[in-house]
Structure 1
Amino acid sequence: MELSPLAPRIAALSLGAIPVSYALNHVSVLSHPLGVVLASILILALLLVAIHSLSHGEISYDPLYAVFSVFAFTSVVDLLLSLQEDGYVAGLMEFYTKEGEPYLRTAHGIFICYWDGTVHYLLYLAMAGAIHKRKRYRNLGLYWLGSFIMSVLVFFPGNILGKYSSEIRPAFVLIIPYMLVLCWASMRVFNQSRAPTCCPPTMVQEEQKKGLLQRPADLALVLYLILAGLFTLFRGLVVLDCPTDACFVYIYQYEPYLRDPVAYPKVQMLVYTFYMLPFFGLAAYALVVPGCSWLPDWALVFAGAIGQAQFSHMGASLHPRTPFTYRVPDDAWACFFGCNLLYALGPHLLAYRCLRQPAFFLHPPPPGTLAPDKKRQ
């Protein structure tokens, strides 16, 4: 989607996070955890005032414009944090990782910040640009929602259950407004009207008459969903300490990161088991039975979710911040990378297929709709 003329203005405003972070890093009061929380709230309030004064018309048209603008600012902060932890920059975010959220120093924390500072940042600019041009951004919003929800579902329970649970600071309470905004944004994005489809009733009827064997791409996707579902169940059993030899070999020779006491990989596999596994089954059903109009939307949501999750999981499995014992062994690197990359790629191919050729998933045309066309013939 083309960025609007206002998107660069939002980008410029978000880049203000760089001097702000540098200045706050040298304020002595931020050496106290409560000072970090108060400073964060003050900055967000001032940022909202600035956004409202610059973009009152856009906010009146769609209040999510303000949300995307604020989140673009926090995305730049997250990118600075990850670059600092990897040693590319210095003197910007030490105060926050020390007194605000020390669990962001973990490999998982670093990679969710990379994702937020790149993929989410571009999505915020694109969606804000769409609002300025009064265009739809529902598909982008659904992908962002899936990605954002997955990040929250894994990161915050992992903070409570993992080895960093004793280092939770007052900044952790900022999750409450995040969750409230997420619920509100979800409802607004889903309630947006869908883009009109260019599928005439005759095309819908012809597509829905085809069996699975006549749709080789769908057949390949169904086979993928079955295999991905089995892989999801297997890794769920692995983190639940299944005593079988296969689980023991896998966790020690292929993905030892699943044993890391930070708890993020365990929570990630359980989220996969309880959410991705049912979706794989339902999606396979929707590729066989025509008229499942819910699949295109939810395929986008789950594509965003698994994209964020696999990026963080794969990156953390290989990152030097992860103890050597829990990193992927050199002789298993190709197998680990190949399986996890395919696991991430499949839902994106499914979403692309649903958006590219949606006729199979549309509601069947009502009886009598095709009668006039037949008479003309």
Structure 2
Amino acid sequence: MAPNAPLAVFSVSLLPFPLSYVLNTQSWVKDPTVILGVGIAVLILVLGATYSVVRRVRKPDFILYFMSLFMFSSMIDLIIAFEADGILSEFMGFYLKDGEPYLWTPYGTMINYWDGTVHYGLCIWILYCVHRGWSYRKVGLYWCGSITNSVIVLLLGSVCGKFGVKPAIYLNLIYLAIPVWIAFKLLQQRQNDSRAITVSSNANIWNRPLDCVFIVYLLGAVAVDLFRGFIALGCTEALMQEYLYDHEPYIMHPIAYPKIQMLVYMYYFVPFYVCAIYGLLRPGQTWLGDWTLIVAGAAAQGQFSHIGASLHPRTEPEFHVPAREHSRNIFWLLNIGLFVLPHMFAFNINLCNRNASSTSRKRNMGKNN
């Protein structure tokens, strides 16, 4: 592929800095409805500019049409995070005040930091893969899981929390719809023969000690996610109340984002973990490798935002992690484990699938010869 298309897509992501600075100086960009209109107009211009370049490429990859939009928004979010923390000023103040004021909260700030760094980096890697002609399915699925979790929590938390519905919140709907659609497209591209663990000697779970370890982890994750989910629902059982006040009081913060994240873990992650246990007990499930990547991306984004907001200086002291060593040790052990272990699980499953696929191809070649 000619380098001009990925380069043009990347170049669009550099526009938010001058654009946001100019808009911040305009007195007419103050009304929430006007901000929504300006946001829609900017998105249309970004997509239009990308289309005018990409359509000239012979057989362009569909994802190029959307990467500029998400990279542009990632830089906007990074500017918002910097302004919320006082690192920058006079760039997105109008948006934080009259557009999406909930982004000023510690949780909103951490979401924006993740979007402006990790999501931006993943988009750059996807562009590089497109340029080199490499497959970006795995990184694409990870990106889809991460950004979908981010937007779901942001939307539901903003509506259920103290901020209510602001007109500009509707801009986030496109950032939910497109990644979900891209994820379906990438899942449809799955090669069935590369997703199954086919080595018959490993059919017994007791012959796979590492998988036994992951089953223990998955059972533990189910227990923790149910436990914290019930806390978010307001369960008054003594053990849950003790954990809430001694380890993670931030779960009950009135902005509602941590509650929504706990409920997402309970209602979406727990069913996956149960299905993953079945996939380990019955090797050969063709869906497991792809979904581990989606869940790993979602877990990384969710845990980063939850941990960061729990410790952020602008979070009220009563919702900080208690300073007691025991409390902090439990907090870090659980939350770092829920961040790291999904990645280890995804890496192991996809590595086994790749090795099994390679073994299968070698056997087929031997039979053909």
Would the aligned equivalents of 1:7 and 1:128 in 2 still touch at CA under 8 Å? yes
- The answer to whether the aligner puts 1:269 opposite 2:268 as a matched pair is no
- Give the C-alpha shift of residue 373 in structure 1: 9.9
Conserved 8 A contact 2:110-2:309: yes
For 1:326 and 1:370, how far apart are their aligned partners in 2?
57
Cα distance in structure 1, aligned partners of 2:364 and 2:253 = 65
Aligned to 2:217: 224
For normalisation by structure 1, the TM-score amounts to: 0.88
1:336 counterpart (328, 331, 340): 331
Distance in 2 between residues matched to 1:208 and 1:86, nearest whole Å: 55
- Secondary structure of the residue aligned to 1:242 is coil
User: How far is the alpha carbon of 1:320 from its aligned partner?
Assistant: 1.6
- For residues 177-326 of structure 1, what are the structure 2 equivalents within 5 Å? 177-194=174-191, 197=194, 205-206=198-199, 208-326=201-319
Task: Please state whether the residue corresponding to 2:283 is helix, strand or coil.
Answer: coil
By how many angstroms is 1:371 displaced? 11
Match of 1:127 in 2: 126
Q: Is the 8 A contact 1:238 1:248 kept in 2?
A: yes
CA contact (8 A) 2:151 2:175 kept: no
> Does 2:74 correspond to 1:79?
no
Give me the TM-score of the superposition, normalised by structure 2. Answer: 0.90
Checking the alignment, whether the CA contact within 8 Å between 1:58 and 1:131 is kept in structure 2 is no
Matched, 1:170 2:170: no
Secondary structure of the residue aligned to 1:320 is: coil
* Aligned match of 2:27: 28
Corresponding letter in the other structure for 2:167: P
Go from structure 1 to structure 2 and tell me whether the alpha carbon gap of 1:370 and 1:264 turns closer, same or farther (over 3 Å shift): closer
Per-residue deviation, 1:209: 3.4
Deviation track 1:86-108 (CA, whole Å, cap 9, x = no partner) reads 11111111011111101101111
Secondary structure of residue in 2 paired with 1:61: coil
For 1:66, give the aligned amino acid.
Answer: Y
2:155 corresponds in structure 1 to 156
CA distance in 2: counterparts of 1:374 and 1:179, whole angstroms: 46
Q: What are the ranges of 5 or more consecutive residues in structure 2 without an aligned counterpart?
A: none
Task: Supply the AA of the counterpart residue of 1:343.
Answer: L
Residues 226, 180 of structure 1: CA spacing in aligned structure 2 closer, same or farther, 3 A cutoff? closer
In structure 1, stretches of 5+ residues that fail to align are: none
Aligned residues: 363
* Contact kept? 1:5, 1:129, Cα under 8 Å: no
Letter in 1 for 2:285: C
Cα gap change, 1:130/1:195 in structure 2, threshold over 3 Å: closer, same or farther?
Answer: farther
Contact between 1:136 and 1:195, CA under 8 Å: does it hold in 2?
no
2:10–2:71: 8 Å Cα contact kept in structure 1?
yes
- Give secondary structure in 2 for the equivalent of 1:330: coil
CA 1:25–1:286 in 2, change beyond 3 Å: closer, same or farther?
A: same
Whole-angstrom CA distance in 2 between matches of 1:142 and 1:293: 15
- Which residues in structure 2 correspond to 1:75-114 (within 5 Å)? 75-114=74-113
**Post-superposition offset of 1:360:** 8.9
Q: Could you report, residue by residue, the CA deviation over 1:143-175 in whole angstroms, capped at 9, with x for unpaired residues?
A: 11111111122111111111111xx32112223
Structure 2 partner of 1:347: 342
Is contact 1:36-1:100 (8 Å) kept?
yes
1:135 and 1:211 map into 2 onto residues whose CA distance is 35
State, as a whole percentage, how many aligned pairs show the same letter. 36
Root mean square deviation of aligned Cα: 2.8
- Please give the per-residue CA displacement for 1:19-40, whole angstroms capped at 9, x wherever unaligned: 1111111011111112211221
The answer to whether the Cα contact below 8 Å between 1:22 and 1:91 also exists between their aligned partners in 2 is yes
Q: 1:231 to 1:371 in 2, by over 3 A?
A: closer
SS of the aligned residue for 1:175 comes to helix
Q: Do 1:286 and 1:295's aligned partners in 2 also have CA atoms closer than 8 Å? A: yes
